A and B are shown apart, each in its own frame.
Chain A
Amino acid sequence: MSQRFPVNVNTGVLAESLHSSSLVTRAQAGDQISFTRLIDERHHELYRTAWAILRNDADALDATQETCLGAWRELPRLRDPTRFDAWLMRSLVNRCRTALRSRKRVSVREVQLEASGGLEIPSRDRDVGDSLAANEAIRRAFARLRAEQRTYLVLHYVEHRSITEIAAIVDAPEGTVKWRLSEARRALENQLAREDR
């Protein structure tokens, strides 16, 4: 479970511990040890978020590395150290978006549904539940979504980010975030409906 910080819903600013803020400030001044500490505390979450969006080990690793190295270069430009997490995550999702755009074709892993060694065959029912085929169908549908839609779905459903947190990450009004999240969900449903045909 990734670390979350209390959210001030009135201002939309992530309230950060004194520990992280001081690390950010020192890292901005050039302290490499403080920066390394910041990355050490966050790189697993960054990697898993990138993986959830990109569905690929190599791309996720590239995006995470580039995000961290870019953060080291650009950190002096961050005016408010308390916004470090949102700023870092924004950088990551931007890099994931670039990676998705550079792909010529989204590859979708086909699942062979056959009985073998204890693997359950999903029965035909309406409850998505634990169905392996259902998971694969959702992933195939997800793979056909635009980069922005994938990002919103991952931030909300996988990372459990609130609307306010997502708004801080993507730097958009909360109303816009709500609308785009519902649009992404609808797009996923539409793609799933195509699976059924």
Chain B
Amino acid sequence: MSTFMLTDAAIERALAPDLDVAAPDDFTKQIAQAIALKPRQSRLWVLIPAAWPRHMTLAARMMLLMLLLIVLLVGAVAVASLQHRAAANGHVIVARATEIVDVDPETGVSSILVTNRGYLFGVARSGDGSLISYWTSTIDGTTLEIVSENGDAVRQVATNVIPKPVGQGQIDVWSPNGRSLAAGVKVGGQARILLVDISSGDGELIGPVGAENPLWSPDGQWLAFSHIRDGRSVLSVMHADGTGPRDISGDLGDLDGSGTNNWSPDGAWIYFGAERDGFEESHIYRARFDANQAEQLTFDQTSAGPALSPDGTLVVYNRWGGEFGTNGLWIMDADGGNQHLLLADGNDDGWSNDGQFVLSEWRPPKGPYELVTIRPDGSDKQTLMTFPERCVSLCAHDLAWGQPRP
């Protein structure tokens, strides 16, 4: 067969259904019968007195009316309190080359907290926002430092261990009570978990050799981490002092756990990603704390970087490649249901402390990348800052706003 010269007309002729391709004549009737058998009940029937069952007694109706009034009153108070959204979240802290920048999400006004001759990265913030940790890299080496939220009292910590960071993607995590900082580090070329006592500034290496990606439990009693077992990266937990490690991720097939991401507020689940072949395939899982078993939450396309909302009900994550071009920031229920796109061309940078907003590095159709906040229902997208023109991808290597970054 000779070589084809494929034309648009040829594609249309080949792929267009024949004229006799049609749905059955009774298709609409079948659909009508199907929906008649399963009428859709309004989910808000309780709020519509006209929709209340006719057999409801007078006493029941009065009770329901009183409940409706209470709900309306509580709702009004909640809406009024939303006006002061920034108070619960504090400012966004961003590392930009040799500076640590504080950005007020309410006003967009930024100020420089720290200026250093070295390159700054690996920013993490304590839960109450009062302390900020970061790494500094100079030709003399790297150091781990802590500064107060107003830029005062800079000090080096863990100088007794002299750890090295794992890289510029460093994600350190503060304990819930703010008294400790856990960091994945390299010591003697080996991955270890460093525990820093904030009060004394002393560091201690805990857990097995090879442990990395630490994550605190909500009660501060446990640390989840990843490490290599039988050639595969698995997830484990250990006591906060490094004792009693055990595996929790179960059998991930030929995928490698790519770190720990979030611990649900009820302590039951740890959310993480698992991938193979450099994220050629990547999915989101959650592992049970009390068993060696993981549940896969995403199945289609490439998904990674889950971030659980502070109330543990929603997960935002990155999804890209494959079908329909819906690359961007996606959101789903904590059990993996209701997966849908939240922000096209957005990257997942975690949640605000109050769970009202998601932080995202977003690529607009034209112009430089922007750091934006957006509500989980997709509304109220606001730009906090714009990155330099030369930055073409993942411009915010380091930022912190309450939740550990995914």
Contacts and interface: CB of A to CB of B under 8 A. Distances in A.
Interface of A: 30, 32, 35-36, 39-40, 43-44, 46-48, 51-52, 57, 61, 64-65, 68-69, 72-73, 75-76, 93, 97, 101, 124-130, 133-139, 142, 146-148, 151, 153-154, 157-158, 170-173, 175-177, 179-180, 185, 188-189, 192-193, 195-196
B40 A48 contact: no
A69 B15 contact: no
A35 B33 CA distance: 12
A48 B17 contact: yes
Interface of B: 1-8, 10-17, 21-24, 27-28, 30-32, 34-36, 39-40, 42-43, 300, 322-327, 341, 344-345, 365
A43 B345 contact: no
A171 B326 contact: yes
B32 A36 contact: yes
A138 B11 contact: yes
Nearest to A75: B40
A157 B35 contact: no
B324 A171 contact: yes
Given A129-B10, A176-B325, A69 B31 contact: yes
Interface on chain A toward B: helix, strand, loop, or mixed SS? helix
Contacts of A61: 23-24
A41 to B, nearest CB: 9
Most B CB within 10 A of own CB, among A39, A65, A172:
A172
Given A44-B23, A72-B40, A128-B6, A195 B1 contact: yes
Contacts of B8: 157
Given A43-B28, A47-B27, A124-B2, 19 more contacts: A32-B36, A44-B22, A61-B24, A69-B31, A69-B34, A101-B300, A126-B5, A137-B4, A142-B14, A148-B325, A153-B11, A158-B16, A171-B324, A172-B324, A172-B325, A172-B327, A172-B344, A179-B325, A196-B2
A30 to B, nearest CB: 6
A51 B23 CA distance: 10
Most A CB within 10 A of own CB, among B13, B42, B344:
B13
B43 to A, nearest CB: 8
Contacts of B43: 76
9 contacts: A32-B35, A44-B23, A48-B22, A124-B1, A133-B1, A136-B14, A138-B6, A157-B11, A170-B326
B32 A171 contact: no
Given A30-B42, A43-B23, A146-B323, A68 B31 contact: yes
Given A128-B5, A139-B15, A188-B6, A176 B31 contact: no
A173 B240 CA distance: 46
A173 B345 contact: yes
Contacts of A126: 2-5
B40 A196 contact: no
A182 to B, nearest CB: 12
A124 B406 CA distance: 58
